[in-house]
Amino acid sequence: MTGAIDMTLGVQFVTGIFGLVTFLPSLAIAIRRLHDLDRTGWWVLLGLIPLIGWIILLIWYVTKGTEGPNRFGPDPLATMGMPAAPRAA
């Protein structure tokens, strides 16, 4: 029986370490994506609102960023030399 308990604690430990290691990079990516949309990184706190906040953030994450430079810097697609996607009229 103690082998099963040790196995469970080991899995929980590894899962906890993985969560801690991936939290900051995930947060940085989310904030950078919001900056691409010309929104401040504080909007990531919207995710603390269950369901509604997550849906709004998901919609923002999948929309195209602002074309050209904004207050957070140049357009990353323009600096890569990629052509801009045509916008629907």
From CA 19, how far away is CA 84, in angstroms rounded? 36
Distance of CA 51 to the CA centre of its chain: 16
Q: Residue 45 has what pLDDT? A: 95
Q: Residue 89 has what pLDDT? A: 58
Q: Where are the alpha helices (DSSP H) in the chain?
A: 2-36, 52-62, 76-79
Tokens of 50: 């269950």
pTM of the predicted model as reported, rounded to 2 decimal places: 0.69
Q: Residue 85 has what pLDDT? A: 61
Q: Residue 13 has what pLDDT? A: 87
Rg (CA), the chain: 19
Q: Residue 40 has what pLDDT? A: 92
Tokens of 20: 């801690």
- Per-run averaged pLDDT (10 residues), the chain, 89 residues: 66 90 94 91 93 94 86 78 62
From CA 47, how far away is CA 23, in angstroms rounded? 14
